Amino acid sequence: MAEYKNMSKAELEALKAELEAKYKEQSALGLNLDMSRGKPGADQLDLCEGLLTAVSTSDEAVLNGTDLRNYGGLDGIAPMKAMFAELLGVSASEVLVGGNSSLNMMYDTIARAMLFGILGEKPWSQQGEIKFLCPSPGYDRHFAVCEAFGIKMIPVEMNHDGPDMDTVEKLVSTDASVKGIWCVPKYSNPQGITYADEVVTRFANLKPAAKDFRIFWDNAYCVHDLTDTPDQLKEILSACKEAGNPNMVFEFASTSKISFPGGGVAVMVASEENLDAVKKIITFQTIGPDKINQYRHVKYFKDADGVHAHMKKQAALLKPKFDIVCDTLEKELSGLGIASWVRPNGGYFVSLDVLPGCAKKVHALLKDANVVMTKAGATYPYGVDPKDSNLRIAPTLPTVPELAAAMNMLCLCVRLAAVSKLLEA
């Protein structure tokens, strides 16, 4: 197929008519599809049905003499810390176990910084305007937390190997009001990019103007590989230690997309000095998270190998879904010069860049045809994609046939929006 930009006006108009006819035809099929939500499918959740009964009796709820049903255990049970330590390549003393939501731990971390400050620095809420760097496209809920707290967001470009580190280094080292940066370092949301070793090293070697600057390292997809040659992410805590910045990173992870999103276990990972300060505050907040549910996970998965084996089963279910998404994009859009994407090795999303000024239009066309996508712009701070070009595809929840139908419709809309755009120009 020819690139659209090389087509004549007459050719474009003929193509437009053809695509509009197809759109009308396919819309009439009464589709009802949703590619908007980064939710596991029921088949994935069924894989760990045994988790539900992993702690079935009173006797099984006892761990080394500690009754897990009772109060206590502010920072989690030892084997849960050990499992995440192994998964993330850190020490168990650097792991703090929380409730069922890593987002909650991130929000609370920022709330604590706002109210109490970090390691003796002034509370953020008393420091005037503060800012976070936001590699974009990124995760809308990260940006929403900043917006809730009135933290000014500064978008940073994503390169193929991570955030644009020249910009990050410059802003972090010169502006003391820059207090944080949001990162999804492995299989980033939405692009599926894993930060290169050099990028991680540059992160660890940042020289922040603010003593209370922290990297928010949301390792949400740490074990969420789709292939036998998964991406490898350099471990950042030890890199920070080596660089003389042991306290500069707060890492987060959870089993939300390993076991059950509605009943998993989340962790925060940081230097012991950071965690000691956190624990001094959360001791006022809670007597401790749900230890029984932690122990269910420990008994069910046993160790990091158990988790990896489980994730291979998930990959077997997910790979065909990602394949149909990427194969359809390739078949329908490659060579047209109107869209770009990367086939990810893991994670939960495929990011699609359409012609500038077309993302909202594509979203609207799909909506009219009853195909739901994440709102255009959602992957950018304040919901504003300056180029109006990024769309996020979430392949996990629909079935393969549903995905096939939805992707055909998506590609059709991308083409239709592109043709219309080019005709306007």
List interacting residues with its own copies (CB under 8 A): 37, 39-40, 42, 45-46, 49, 52-53, 55-58, 60-61, 67-73, 99-101, 103-104, 107-108, 111, 114-115, 125, 141, 144-145, 147-149, 256, 260-263, 281, 284-293
Closest CA to 44 of 319, 297, 327, 403: 319
Nearest distance, CB of residue 310 and its own copies, angstroms: 15
- Considering the complex, what minimum distance in angstroms separates the CB of residue 48 from its own copies? 9
Answer for the pair 417, 358: CB distance below 8 angstroms, yes or no: yes
Amino acid of residue 50: G
CB of 39 to its own copies, least distance (A): 5
- At residue 175, the 3 state secondary structure works out as coil
In whole angstroms, how close is the CB of 240 to its own copies at the nearest point?
27
Select 67 or 157, whichever has its Cβ closest to its own copies: 67
Residue (295 or 322) nearer to its own copies, CB: 295
The conformation of residue 123, written as its DSSP 8-state character, comes to: P
- Report in angstroms how near the CB of residue 320 gets to its own copies at its nearest: 20
378: helix, strand or coil = coil
The tokens 């420990």 sit on which residue? 298
Rounded to whole angstroms, the Cα distance separating 221 from 208 reads 27
Residue 282 CB, nearest distance to its own copies (Å)?
9
Q: Which is nearer to its own copies, 60 or 235 (CB)?
A: 60
Residue 421 DSSP label: H
What's the maximum distance between 2 C-alpha atoms anywhere in the chain?
Answer: 80
In angstroms, what is the minimal distance from the CB of 185 to its own copies?
21
Q: Which residues of 258-282 are buried (b: 16+ CB within 10 A; e: fewer)?
A: bbbbebbbbbbbbbeebbebbeeeb
**Nearer to its own copies by C-beta: 107 or 164?**
107
Nearer to its own copies, 146 or 417 (CB): 146
Rounded to a whole number of angstroms, the minimum distance from the CB of residue 174 to its own copies is 28
Query: How far is the C-alpha of 395 from the C-alpha of 192, rounded, in Å?
Result: 13
* CB closer to its own copies, 44 vs 194: 44
d(CA 371, CA 365): 9
In the numeric block, the tokens 């239009």 are attached to 361
Helix (H) or strand (E) holding 406: helix 400-424
DSSP state of 232: -
Nearest CB to its own copies, comparing residues 73 and 395: 73
> Could you tell me which residues are beta bridge partners of residue 354?
339
Query: Toward its own copies, which CB reaches closer, 20 or 60?
Result: 60
Q: Give Cβ neighbours of residue 200 (< 8 Å, ≥ 6 apart).
A: 162, 185, 233, 234, 236, 239
